[in-house]
Amino acid sequence: MDVAAVQSQLIERINSGVLVVDQNCCLLYFNRFMESHSLLQASEVIGKNLFDIFPDAPQRWLQRKIQSVFMLNTPAFSSWEQRQFVFKMRHARPVTTSSEYMAQNITFIPICSDGQSEPDKVGIIVEDMTDVFFYQQKLKDTLKELEEVSRTDGLTKVSNRRYWEERFRIEFETAQRHEHDLSLIMFDLDKFKRINDEYGHQAGDLVLVKATELVQQILRKGDLLGRYGGEEFGIILPNTADKGAYELAERIRSQFSLLTMQHDNRSINATMSMGICQFDSRFTRFEDMVTRADLALYQSKREGRNQVTIYQA
Amino acid sequence: MNDITLTEDQRDCLQELINVAMGQASDKLARYLQTFVHLQVPYIELIDSTVLPERFAETYAEEGVSLVSQGFYGEKGILGESLLIYKSHDAHGIAEILGYEPDDVSEVEQLTDISSILTTTFLNGLAEQIDNQLAYSAPRVVSSMETPLEQHLQQLSFNWDLALKVDISYQVVDFSFNCDMVLLIPGEAIKNIQKVLDQILDEF
Protein backbone atom coordinates (compact mmCIF):
# COMPACT_ATOMS: atom_id res chain seq x y z
CA MET A 1 0.00 0.00 0.00
CA ASP A 2 1.19 3.46 -0.85
CA VAL A 3 0.66 4.92 2.60
CA ALA A 4 1.35 8.51 1.61
CA ALA A 5 -1.20 8.39 -1.22
CA VAL A 6 -3.85 6.90 1.05
CA GLN A 7 -3.10 9.46 3.75
CA SER A 8 -3.38 12.38 1.38
CA GLN A 9 -6.74 11.14 0.05
CA LEU A 10 -8.00 10.55 3.58
CA ILE A 11 -7.05 14.02 4.70
CA GLU A 12 -8.52 15.52 1.53
CA ARG A 13 -11.86 13.75 2.02
CA ILE A 14 -12.19 13.45 5.78
CA ASN A 15 -15.36 14.90 7.27
CA SER A 16 -13.41 17.58 9.16
CA GLY A 17 -11.68 20.71 8.03
CA VAL A 18 -7.89 20.52 7.69
CA LEU A 19 -5.75 23.61 7.12
CA VAL A 20 -2.02 24.16 7.32
CA VAL A 21 -0.45 27.58 7.87
CA ASP A 22 3.13 28.77 8.04
CA GLN A 23 4.67 31.15 10.58
CA ASN A 24 3.15 34.17 8.82
CA CYS A 25 -0.31 32.56 8.93
CA CYS A 26 -0.18 32.01 5.17
CA LEU A 27 -2.32 29.10 4.03
CA LEU A 28 -0.37 26.11 2.72
CA TYR A 29 -3.19 23.57 2.62
CA PHE A 30 -6.98 23.68 2.56
CA ASN A 31 -8.89 20.40 2.27
CA ARG A 32 -12.16 19.63 0.52
CA PHE A 33 -14.27 19.96 3.66
CA MET A 34 -12.96 23.51 4.07
CA GLU A 35 -13.64 24.27 0.42
CA SER A 36 -17.22 23.12 0.44
CA HIS A 37 -18.18 24.75 3.74
CA SER A 38 -16.42 28.07 3.21
CA LEU A 39 -17.40 28.20 -0.50
CA LEU A 40 -13.76 28.96 -1.35
CA GLN A 41 -11.43 27.06 -3.64
CA ALA A 42 -8.07 25.82 -2.39
CA SER A 43 -6.49 27.26 -5.52
CA GLU A 44 -7.68 30.77 -4.63
CA VAL A 45 -6.71 30.71 -0.93
CA ILE A 46 -3.33 28.91 -0.93
CA GLY A 47 -0.56 31.42 -0.32
CA LYS A 48 -2.97 33.99 1.10
CA ASN A 49 -3.11 35.14 4.70
CA LEU A 50 -5.55 33.26 6.94
CA PHE A 51 -7.05 36.52 8.22
CA ASP A 52 -7.67 37.85 4.72
CA ILE A 53 -9.56 34.66 3.92
CA PHE A 54 -11.52 34.69 7.20
CA PRO A 55 -11.86 38.39 8.08
CA ASP A 56 -14.42 37.61 10.82
CA ALA A 57 -12.00 35.41 12.77
CA PRO A 58 -10.86 36.82 16.16
CA GLN A 59 -7.45 37.86 14.87
CA ARG A 60 -5.52 38.85 18.02
CA TRP A 61 -6.60 35.80 19.94
CA LEU A 62 -6.09 33.39 17.05
CA GLN A 63 -2.68 34.81 16.19
CA ARG A 64 -1.58 34.44 19.80
CA LYS A 65 -2.89 30.88 19.83
CA ILE A 66 -1.06 29.89 16.67
CA GLN A 67 2.04 31.61 18.04
CA SER A 68 1.83 29.44 21.17
CA VAL A 69 1.90 26.32 19.01
CA PHE A 70 5.03 27.54 17.23
CA MET A 71 6.85 28.80 20.33
CA LEU A 72 5.93 26.07 22.79
CA ASN A 73 5.76 23.21 20.29
CA THR A 74 2.53 22.06 21.89
CA PRO A 75 -1.01 21.54 20.61
CA ALA A 76 -3.71 24.12 21.36
CA PHE A 77 -7.49 23.85 21.46
CA SER A 78 -10.69 25.78 21.01
CA SER A 79 -14.09 24.45 22.06
CA TRP A 80 -17.55 25.37 20.68
CA GLU A 81 -18.82 25.54 24.24
CA GLN A 82 -16.77 28.66 24.88
CA ARG A 83 -16.42 29.99 21.35
CA GLN A 84 -19.10 28.69 19.03
CA PHE A 85 -16.94 29.08 15.95
CA VAL A 86 -13.62 30.53 14.84
CA PHE A 87 -14.08 30.18 11.09
CA LYS A 88 -17.48 31.48 10.04
CA MET A 89 -18.84 28.74 7.77
CA ARG A 90 -22.12 27.05 6.88
CA HIS A 91 -22.68 23.57 8.27
CA ALA A 92 -24.01 20.41 6.66
CA ARG A 93 -27.40 20.34 8.35
CA PRO A 94 -29.08 23.61 7.40
CA VAL A 95 -32.48 21.93 7.11
CA THR A 96 -32.88 20.06 10.37
CA THR A 97 -30.98 22.29 12.78
CA SER A 98 -31.63 25.86 13.75
CA SER A 99 -28.15 27.35 14.08
CA GLU A 100 -26.80 29.29 11.15
CA TYR A 101 -23.08 28.69 11.50
CA MET A 102 -21.04 25.58 12.14
CA ALA A 103 -20.19 25.01 15.80
CA GLN A 104 -16.53 24.00 15.90
CA ASN A 105 -14.02 22.15 18.01
CA ILE A 106 -10.57 23.08 16.82
CA THR A 107 -7.18 21.49 17.41
CA PHE A 108 -3.95 23.25 16.48
CA ILE A 109 -1.05 20.85 15.95
CA PRO A 110 2.65 21.72 15.61
CA ILE A 111 4.24 20.25 12.47
CA CYS A 112 8.01 19.96 12.09
CA SER A 113 9.83 19.51 8.81
CA ASP A 114 11.91 16.34 8.42
CA GLY A 115 14.81 16.25 10.82
CA GLN A 116 13.77 19.44 12.61
CA SER A 117 12.78 19.59 16.27
CA GLU A 118 11.00 22.94 16.11
CA PRO A 119 7.73 23.36 14.18
CA ASP A 120 7.62 25.46 11.01
CA LYS A 121 3.92 24.82 10.25
CA VAL A 122 0.70 24.52 12.20
CA GLY A 123 -2.03 22.09 11.26
CA ILE A 124 -5.55 23.23 12.11
CA ILE A 125 -8.28 20.62 12.41
CA VAL A 126 -11.86 21.88 12.42
CA GLU A 127 -14.51 19.46 13.67
CA ASP A 128 -18.16 20.17 12.98
CA MET A 129 -19.94 20.10 16.36
CA THR A 130 -23.24 21.47 15.08
CA ASP A 131 -25.12 18.28 16.01
CA VAL A 132 -23.87 18.40 19.57
CA PHE A 133 -24.55 22.12 19.76
CA PHE A 134 -28.08 21.57 18.47
CA TYR A 135 -28.89 18.71 20.85
CA GLN A 136 -27.42 20.64 23.76
CA GLN A 137 -29.80 23.51 22.94
CA LYS A 138 -32.70 21.04 22.73
CA LEU A 139 -31.70 19.49 26.03
CA LYS A 140 -31.65 22.92 27.65
CA ASP A 141 -35.11 23.71 26.28
CA THR A 142 -36.47 20.35 27.42
CA LEU A 143 -35.02 20.78 30.90
CA LYS A 144 -36.70 24.16 31.09
CA GLU A 145 -40.01 22.66 30.03
CA LEU A 146 -39.63 19.85 32.54
CA GLU A 147 -38.96 22.35 35.29
CA GLU A 148 -42.09 24.22 34.23
CA VAL A 149 -44.18 21.04 34.26
CA SER A 150 -42.82 19.90 37.61
CA ARG A 151 -44.06 23.10 39.25
CA THR A 152 -47.45 23.36 37.56
CA ASP A 153 -50.84 21.86 38.37
CA GLY A 154 -51.94 19.83 35.35
CA LEU A 155 -55.58 20.96 35.27
CA THR A 156 -55.47 24.63 36.17
CA LYS A 157 -51.85 25.41 35.09
CA VAL A 158 -51.30 27.38 38.30
CA SER A 159 -48.41 26.45 40.64
CA ASN A 160 -48.74 23.06 42.26
CA ARG A 161 -48.59 22.72 46.00
CA ARG A 162 -44.96 21.64 46.16
CA TYR A 163 -43.68 24.66 44.22
CA TRP A 164 -46.15 27.06 45.84
CA GLU A 165 -45.00 26.03 49.32
CA GLU A 166 -41.36 26.33 48.25
CA ARG A 167 -42.00 29.91 47.14
CA PHE A 168 -44.07 30.67 50.22
CA ARG A 169 -41.20 29.55 52.45
CA ILE A 170 -38.87 31.97 50.67
CA GLU A 171 -41.35 34.87 50.90
CA PHE A 172 -41.96 34.07 54.56
CA GLU A 173 -38.24 34.14 55.34
CA THR A 174 -37.83 37.41 53.44
CA ALA A 175 -40.67 38.96 55.44
CA GLN A 176 -39.05 37.71 58.66
CA ARG A 177 -35.64 39.07 57.81
CA HIS A 178 -36.63 42.45 56.44
CA GLU A 179 -39.90 42.94 58.36
CA HIS A 180 -41.75 43.31 55.08
CA ASP A 181 -45.53 42.97 54.83
CA LEU A 182 -46.81 39.62 53.60
CA SER A 183 -50.36 38.32 53.33
CA LEU A 184 -51.91 35.02 52.47
CA ILE A 185 -55.36 34.41 50.99
CA MET A 186 -56.78 30.87 51.19
CA PHE A 187 -59.96 30.26 49.25
CA ASP A 188 -62.25 27.38 48.55
CA LEU A 189 -65.14 26.89 46.11
CA ASP A 190 -68.47 26.77 47.91
CA LYS A 191 -70.47 23.52 47.73
CA PHE A 192 -68.07 22.16 45.14
CA LYS A 193 -69.26 18.59 45.74
CA ARG A 194 -72.74 19.64 44.75
CA ILE A 195 -71.49 21.14 41.45
CA ASN A 196 -69.79 17.83 40.67
CA ASP A 197 -72.88 15.83 41.58
CA GLU A 198 -75.28 18.04 39.70
CA TYR A 199 -73.33 18.87 36.52
CA GLY A 200 -70.67 16.14 36.42
CA HIS A 201 -66.96 16.14 37.14
CA GLN A 202 -66.06 17.83 33.84
CA ALA A 203 -68.21 20.77 34.89
CA GLY A 204 -66.41 20.78 38.23
CA ASP A 205 -63.07 20.88 36.40
CA LEU A 206 -64.34 23.76 34.27
CA VAL A 207 -65.29 25.75 37.37
CA LEU A 208 -61.78 25.24 38.79
CA VAL A 209 -60.18 26.37 35.53
CA LYS A 210 -62.47 29.44 35.18
CA ALA A 211 -61.93 30.41 38.81
CA THR A 212 -58.14 30.29 38.51
CA GLU A 213 -58.22 32.16 35.18
CA LEU A 214 -60.19 34.95 36.79
CA VAL A 215 -57.88 35.12 39.81
CA GLN A 216 -54.79 35.24 37.56
CA GLN A 217 -56.26 38.22 35.68
CA ILE A 218 -56.79 40.17 38.89
CA LEU A 219 -53.45 39.34 40.58
CA ARG A 220 -50.50 41.70 40.37
CA LYS A 221 -46.99 40.83 39.30
CA GLY A 222 -45.27 39.13 42.22
CA ASP A 223 -48.43 37.55 43.64
CA LEU A 224 -48.51 33.77 43.41
CA LEU A 225 -51.57 31.54 43.07
CA GLY A 226 -51.21 27.84 43.85
CA ARG A 227 -53.52 24.84 44.04
CA TYR A 228 -53.34 23.73 47.66
CA GLY A 229 -55.50 20.64 47.20
CA GLY A 230 -58.83 19.62 45.67
CA GLU A 231 -60.84 22.84 45.38
CA GLU A 232 -58.69 24.84 47.80
CA PHE A 233 -56.22 27.45 46.60
CA GLY A 234 -53.73 29.82 48.18
CA ILE A 235 -52.49 33.25 47.06
CA ILE A 236 -49.18 34.62 48.34
CA LEU A 237 -49.16 38.44 48.40
CA PRO A 238 -45.68 39.84 49.11
CA ASN A 239 -45.41 43.43 50.41
CA THR A 240 -49.12 43.47 51.14
CA ALA A 241 -50.86 44.01 54.50
CA ASP A 242 -54.24 42.46 55.35
CA LYS A 243 -56.15 45.59 54.25
CA GLY A 244 -54.75 45.40 50.72
CA ALA A 245 -55.26 41.64 50.68
CA TYR A 246 -58.89 42.16 51.72
CA GLU A 247 -59.55 44.58 48.85
CA LEU A 248 -58.03 42.15 46.37
CA ALA A 249 -59.94 39.18 47.80
CA GLU A 250 -63.23 41.12 47.69
CA ARG A 251 -62.65 41.96 44.05
CA ILE A 252 -62.03 38.30 43.24
CA ARG A 253 -64.99 37.11 45.30
CA SER A 254 -67.51 39.55 43.83
CA GLN A 255 -66.36 39.15 40.20
CA PHE A 256 -66.44 35.36 40.49
CA SER A 257 -69.93 35.39 41.99
CA LEU A 258 -71.11 37.31 38.91
CA LEU A 259 -69.42 34.95 36.46
CA THR A 260 -71.72 32.56 34.63
CA MET A 261 -69.99 29.50 33.17
CA GLN A 262 -71.36 27.33 30.36
CA HIS A 263 -71.16 23.56 30.31
CA ASP A 264 -73.21 21.30 28.01
CA ASN A 265 -75.64 24.15 27.35
CA ARG A 266 -76.23 24.61 31.04
CA SER A 267 -75.30 27.71 32.98
CA ILE A 268 -73.32 27.28 36.16
CA ASN A 269 -72.82 29.88 38.87
CA ALA A 270 -70.50 29.36 41.80
CA THR A 271 -69.06 31.31 44.71
CA MET A 272 -65.98 31.13 46.86
CA SER A 273 -65.22 31.63 50.54
CA MET A 274 -61.98 33.28 51.53
CA GLY A 275 -59.75 33.70 54.56
CA ILE A 276 -56.85 36.10 55.02
CA CYS A 277 -53.88 36.10 57.37
CA GLN A 278 -51.12 38.68 57.41
CA PHE A 279 -47.56 38.06 58.52
CA ASP A 280 -46.81 38.52 62.21
CA SER A 281 -43.25 38.47 63.58
CA ARG A 282 -44.38 35.99 66.22
CA PHE A 283 -44.96 33.35 63.52
CA THR A 284 -42.08 30.94 63.14
CA ARG A 285 -43.09 29.00 60.04
CA PHE A 286 -45.12 29.77 56.89
CA GLU A 287 -47.49 26.98 57.94
CA ASP A 288 -48.55 29.23 60.85
CA MET A 289 -50.09 31.56 58.26
CA VAL A 290 -51.80 28.72 56.38
CA THR A 291 -53.46 27.44 59.57
CA ARG A 292 -54.75 30.91 60.47
CA ALA A 293 -55.95 31.77 56.96
CA ASP A 294 -57.77 28.41 56.99
CA LEU A 295 -59.45 29.32 60.30
CA ALA A 296 -60.67 32.59 58.75
CA LEU A 297 -61.83 30.66 55.67
CA TYR A 298 -63.93 28.32 57.85
CA GLN A 299 -65.42 31.31 59.55
CA SER A 300 -66.50 32.65 56.12
CA LYS A 301 -68.13 29.27 55.47
CA ARG A 302 -69.86 29.21 58.85
CA GLU A 303 -71.27 32.67 58.37
CA GLY A 304 -72.97 31.81 55.11
CA ARG A 305 -70.20 31.42 52.43
CA ASN A 306 -69.38 33.81 49.53
CA GLN A 307 -67.50 36.16 51.82
CA VAL A 308 -64.03 37.21 52.96
CA THR A 309 -62.78 37.05 56.56
CA ILE A 310 -59.52 38.42 58.00
CA TYR A 311 -57.97 36.31 60.73
CA GLN A 312 -58.04 38.11 64.11
CA ALA A 313 -55.66 36.95 66.79
CA MET B 1 -3.08 -2.72 43.18
CA ASN B 2 -2.24 -1.23 46.57
CA ASP B 3 1.03 -3.16 46.69
CA ILE B 4 2.68 -0.55 44.46
CA THR B 5 5.39 1.49 46.14
CA LEU B 6 8.00 3.82 44.72
CA THR B 7 11.57 2.96 45.65
CA GLU B 8 13.78 5.80 46.79
CA ASP B 9 15.76 5.53 43.54
CA GLN B 10 12.60 5.71 41.45
CA ARG B 11 11.39 8.74 43.35
CA ASP B 12 14.73 10.53 43.02
CA CYS B 13 14.86 9.73 39.33
CA LEU B 14 11.32 11.01 38.73
CA GLN B 15 12.10 14.12 40.77
CA GLU B 16 15.16 14.78 38.65
CA LEU B 17 13.24 14.31 35.37
CA ILE B 18 10.53 16.64 36.58
CA ASN B 19 13.07 19.25 37.63
CA VAL B 20 14.59 19.27 34.15
CA ALA B 21 11.15 19.43 32.50
CA MET B 22 10.17 22.29 34.82
CA GLY B 23 13.28 24.22 33.89
CA GLN B 24 12.53 23.85 30.20
CA ALA B 25 8.87 24.73 30.66
CA SER B 26 9.71 27.79 32.72
CA ASP B 27 12.08 29.00 30.03
CA LYS B 28 9.62 28.44 27.17
CA LEU B 29 6.72 29.98 29.05
CA ALA B 30 8.78 33.03 29.92
CA ARG B 31 9.49 33.59 26.25
CA TYR B 32 5.89 33.12 25.17
CA LEU B 33 4.28 35.06 28.01
CA GLN B 34 7.12 37.62 28.13
CA THR B 35 7.22 37.45 31.89
CA PHE B 36 8.96 35.33 34.47
CA VAL B 37 7.16 32.12 35.40
CA HIS B 38 8.13 30.63 38.73
CA LEU B 39 7.57 26.90 39.25
CA GLN B 40 7.81 25.62 42.79
CA VAL B 41 9.57 22.39 43.76
CA PRO B 42 7.21 19.52 43.02
CA TYR B 43 5.71 17.22 45.59
CA ILE B 44 5.44 13.57 44.62
CA GLU B 45 3.31 10.97 46.38
CA LEU B 46 1.21 7.87 45.83
CA ILE B 47 -2.35 8.60 46.76
CA ASP B 48 -5.39 6.45 47.42
CA SER B 49 -8.48 7.39 45.40
CA THR B 50 -10.58 7.39 48.56
CA VAL B 51 -8.58 10.15 50.22
CA LEU B 52 -8.23 12.38 47.15
CA PRO B 53 -11.52 14.32 47.53
CA GLU B 54 -10.72 14.92 51.18
CA ARG B 55 -7.22 16.12 50.38
CA PHE B 56 -8.54 18.55 47.78
CA ALA B 57 -11.20 19.79 50.15
CA GLU B 58 -8.57 20.48 52.83
CA THR B 59 -6.26 22.37 50.49
CA TYR B 60 -8.91 24.46 48.76
CA ALA B 61 -11.53 24.64 51.46
CA GLU B 62 -11.90 28.34 52.00
CA GLU B 63 -11.97 29.70 48.47
CA GLY B 64 -14.11 29.26 45.41
CA VAL B 65 -11.86 27.45 42.96
CA SER B 66 -12.02 26.55 39.30
CA LEU B 67 -10.72 23.22 38.09
CA VAL B 68 -9.63 22.49 34.54
CA SER B 69 -8.83 18.95 33.48
CA GLN B 70 -6.83 17.74 30.50
CA GLY B 71 -6.08 14.13 29.69
CA PHE B 72 -2.78 12.96 28.24
CA TYR B 73 -1.68 9.66 26.77
CA GLY B 74 1.49 8.44 25.18
CA GLU B 75 3.46 5.35 24.26
CA LYS B 76 4.29 2.45 26.59
CA GLY B 77 1.05 2.80 28.53
CA ILE B 78 1.84 6.20 29.96
CA LEU B 79 -1.38 8.13 30.58
CA GLY B 80 -3.05 10.33 33.11
CA GLU B 81 -4.85 13.52 33.75
CA SER B 82 -3.60 16.97 34.57
CA LEU B 83 -5.74 19.11 36.87
CA LEU B 84 -5.17 22.86 37.02
CA ILE B 85 -6.62 24.57 40.04
CA TYR B 86 -7.22 28.29 40.22
CA LYS B 87 -8.23 30.10 43.35
CA SER B 88 -10.85 32.75 42.81
CA HIS B 89 -9.93 35.45 40.35
CA ASP B 90 -6.28 34.58 40.09
CA ALA B 91 -6.67 34.40 36.37
CA HIS B 92 -7.92 37.90 35.58
CA GLY B 93 -4.57 39.26 34.52
CA ILE B 94 -3.97 36.69 31.83
CA ALA B 95 -6.67 37.80 29.39
CA GLU B 96 -4.41 40.49 27.97
CA ILE B 97 -1.38 38.24 27.46
CA LEU B 98 -3.52 35.67 25.66
CA GLY B 99 -4.69 38.24 23.14
CA TYR B 100 -8.28 38.59 24.32
CA GLU B 101 -10.16 41.70 23.32
CA PRO B 102 -11.52 43.69 26.28
CA ASP B 103 -15.10 42.68 25.42
CA ASP B 104 -14.12 39.01 25.15
CA VAL B 105 -15.23 38.08 28.62
CA SER B 106 -15.36 34.29 28.67
CA GLU B 107 -13.36 33.57 31.80
CA VAL B 108 -13.85 29.86 31.22
CA GLU B 109 -12.13 30.05 27.86
CA GLN B 110 -9.24 32.01 29.33
CA LEU B 111 -8.79 29.32 31.97
CA THR B 112 -8.85 26.50 29.44
CA ASP B 113 -6.38 28.40 27.24
CA ILE B 114 -3.81 29.02 29.95
CA SER B 115 -4.30 25.54 31.42
CA SER B 116 -3.57 23.89 28.13
CA ILE B 117 -0.44 26.01 27.69
CA LEU B 118 0.92 25.17 31.15
CA THR B 119 0.04 21.48 30.99
CA THR B 120 1.28 20.69 27.50
CA THR B 121 4.47 22.73 27.82
CA PHE B 122 5.50 20.95 30.99
CA LEU B 123 4.39 17.48 29.93
CA ASN B 124 6.05 17.73 26.52
CA GLY B 125 9.26 18.47 28.38
CA LEU B 126 8.76 15.51 30.65
CA ALA B 127 7.90 13.25 27.70
CA GLU B 128 11.13 14.29 26.02
CA GLN B 129 13.09 13.23 29.12
CA ILE B 130 11.62 9.74 28.98
CA ASP B 131 11.79 9.49 25.18
CA ASN B 132 8.03 9.44 24.80
CA GLN B 133 5.44 11.36 22.75
CA LEU B 134 2.27 12.58 24.37
CA ALA B 135 -1.07 13.48 22.88
CA TYR B 136 -3.68 15.53 24.72
CA SER B 137 -7.42 15.78 24.99
CA ALA B 138 -8.98 19.23 24.84
CA PRO B 139 -9.00 20.96 28.23
CA ARG B 140 -12.34 21.03 30.02
CA VAL B 141 -13.59 23.06 32.94
CA VAL B 142 -14.67 20.52 35.52
CA SER B 143 -15.88 22.87 38.19
CA SER B 144 -16.09 26.60 38.38
CA MET B 145 -16.97 29.25 40.94
CA GLU B 146 -20.63 28.29 40.62
CA THR B 147 -20.21 24.59 41.36
CA PRO B 148 -18.02 23.99 44.40
CA LEU B 149 -15.07 21.66 43.92
CA GLU B 150 -15.86 19.56 46.97
CA GLN B 151 -19.38 18.86 45.75
CA HIS B 152 -17.97 17.90 42.40
CA LEU B 153 -15.32 15.55 43.79
CA GLN B 154 -17.85 13.74 45.91
CA GLN B 155 -19.77 12.91 42.76
CA LEU B 156 -16.71 11.58 40.96
CA SER B 157 -16.31 7.85 40.87
CA PHE B 158 -12.71 6.87 40.52
CA ASN B 159 -12.02 3.69 38.61
CA TRP B 160 -8.58 3.36 40.11
CA ASP B 161 -7.35 2.66 43.63
CA LEU B 162 -3.99 4.34 43.62
CA ALA B 163 -2.47 7.15 41.63
CA LEU B 164 0.93 8.75 41.34
CA LYS B 165 0.35 12.38 42.18
CA VAL B 166 2.69 15.24 41.35
CA ASP B 167 1.92 18.76 42.62
CA ILE B 168 3.52 21.79 41.00
CA SER B 169 2.69 25.44 41.74
CA TYR B 170 2.94 28.10 39.06
CA GLN B 171 3.40 31.78 39.77
CA VAL B 172 3.40 34.54 37.19
CA VAL B 173 4.48 37.40 39.40
CA ASP B 174 3.92 40.25 36.94
CA PHE B 175 0.27 39.34 36.53
CA SER B 176 -0.25 38.18 40.13
CA PHE B 177 -1.37 34.92 38.65
CA ASN B 178 -1.10 31.65 40.55
CA CYS B 179 -2.29 28.14 39.99
CA ASP B 180 -1.59 24.61 41.10
CA MET B 181 -1.06 21.75 38.72
CA VAL B 182 -1.83 18.24 39.96
CA LEU B 183 -0.77 15.39 37.72
CA LEU B 184 -2.50 12.11 38.38
CA ILE B 185 -1.14 8.95 36.84
CA PRO B 186 -3.58 6.23 37.85
CA GLY B 187 -3.48 2.45 38.32
CA GLU B 188 -1.58 0.40 35.74
CA ALA B 189 0.08 3.50 34.31
CA ILE B 190 2.12 3.81 37.53
CA LYS B 191 3.76 0.45 36.79
CA ASN B 192 4.47 1.62 33.26
CA ILE B 193 6.14 4.77 34.59
CA GLN B 194 8.13 2.63 37.01
CA LYS B 195 9.39 0.48 34.13
CA VAL B 196 10.56 3.61 32.33
CA LEU B 197 12.25 4.90 35.49
CA ASP B 198 14.01 1.55 36.07
CA GLN B 199 15.25 1.58 32.50
CA ILE B 200 16.74 5.04 32.96
CA LEU B 201 18.30 3.99 36.29
CA ASP B 202 19.83 0.91 34.61
CA GLU B 203 21.41 3.01 31.93
CA PHE B 204 23.30 5.11 34.46
Tell whether A61 is within 8 A of chain B (Cβ). yes
Where along chain B do its domains lie?
8-203
Residue A151, pLDDT > 60, answer yes
| Predicted pLDDT of residue B204 | 77
Cβ <8 Å between B32 and A58:
no
β-strand pairing of A272-278 with A308-310: parallel
Alpha-carbon gap, residue A273 to A297, rounded angstroms:
6
Interval A216-239: pLDDT, tens: 999 999 999 999 999 999 999 999
> At A20, is the pLDDT very low, low, confident or very high (cuts 50, 70, 90)?
very high
Cβ <8 Å between A71 and B32:
yes
Q: Which of A66, A82, A124 to mutate to test the interface with B (most CBs of B within 10 A)?
A: A82
| Predicted pLDDT of residue A102 | 93
| Predicted pLDDT of residue A221 | 92
Task: Please report the ipTM that was assigned to this predicted complex.
Answer: 0.87
- If you write DSSP's letter for every residue of A248-300 in order, what string do you get? HHHHHHHHHHT-EEEETTEEEE--EEEEEEE--TT--SHHHHHHHHHHHHHHH
Which one from A12, A165, A231, A303 is the annotated catalytic residue?
A231
Cβ <8 Å between A79 and B112:
yes
Interval A254-293: pLDDT, tens: 999 999 999 999 999 999 999 999 999 999 999 999 999 9
| Predicted pLDDT of residue A209 | 97
What is the average pLDDT value for chain A, to the nearest integer? 94
Kindly state which CATH superfamily the domain B8-203 is placed in.
CheC-like (3.40.1550.10)
| Predicted pLDDT of residue B60 | 77
Alpha-carbon gap, residue B43 to A127, rounded angstroms:
38
Give the distance from residue A123's alpha carbon to the nearest chain B alpha carbon, in angstroms: 14
- List B residues 126-145 in contact with A (Cβ-Cβ < 8 A): 135-136, 138-140
Interval A28-65: pLDDT, tens: 999 999 999 999 999 999 999 999 999 999 999 999 99
Burial class (CB within 10 angstroms; exposed 0-12, middle 13-18, buried 19+) of A24: exposed
| Predicted pLDDT of residue A125 | 98
The rounded percent of chain A whose pLDDT value lies above 90 is 92
- List A residues 83-112 in contact with B (Cβ-Cβ < 8 A): 83, 105, 107
Alpha-carbon gap, residue B53 to A232, rounded angstroms:
48
Residue A249, pLDDT > 60, answer yes
All residues of chain B having their beta carbon less than 8 Å from the beta carbon of residue A105 are: 138
Tell whether A118 is within 8 A of chain B (Cβ). no
| Predicted pLDDT of residue A202 | 95
> Which segments in chain B show pLDDT lower than 70?
1-2, 61-63, 88-93, 105, 144-157
| Predicted pLDDT of residue B126 | 94
Which of B12, B68, B110 is closest to A83 using CA atoms? B110
| Predicted pLDDT of residue B4 | 81
**All domains of chain A, ordered by start, with CATH?**
3-138 (3.30.450.20), 151-310 (3.30.70.270)
Tell whether A68 is within 8 A of chain B (Cβ). yes
Q: Which residue has the higher pLDDT, A33 or A96?
A: A33
Residue A17, pLDDT > 90, answer yes
Task: For chain B, give the number of residues.
Answer: 204
The residue-averaged pLDDT of A297-304 equals 96
Q: Which residue has the higher pLDDT, B150 or A170?
A: A170
Interval A182-210: pLDDT, tens: 999 999 999 999 999 999 999 999 999 99
All residues of chain B having their beta carbon less than 8 Å from the beta carbon of residue A71 are: 28, 31-32
Angle at B111 between CA B107 and CA B115, to 5 degrees: 175
The reply to whether A231 belongs to the active site is yes
Q: Which long-range contacts (CB under 8 A, 24 or more apart) does A25-32 make?
A: A25/A49, A25/A50, A25/A51, A25/A63, A25/A66, A26/A50, A27/A53, A28/A121
All residues of chain A having their beta carbon less than 8 Å from the beta carbon of residue B31 are: 71
DSSP state of A101: S
Alpha-carbon gap, residue B84 to B118, rounded angstroms:
9
| Predicted pLDDT of residue B154 | 66
| Predicted pLDDT of residue B91 | 58
Alpha-carbon gap, residue A218 to A251, rounded angstroms:
8
Give the distance from residue A108's alpha carbon to the nearest chain B alpha carbon, in angstroms: 11
All residues of chain A having their beta carbon less than 8 Å from the beta carbon of residue B133 are: none
Q: Nearest residue of B to residue A71 by CA position?
A: B32
Give the number of A-B residue pairs with CB atoms closer than 8 Å.
Answer: 60
Tell whether B125 is within 8 A of chain A (Cβ). no
Cα-based distances in Å from B199 to A24, B117, B134: 42, 29, 19
| Predicted pLDDT of residue B39 | 87
Tell whether A77 is within 8 A of chain B (Cβ). yes
Q: Is residue B163 within 8 Å of B47, Cβ to Cβ?
A: yes
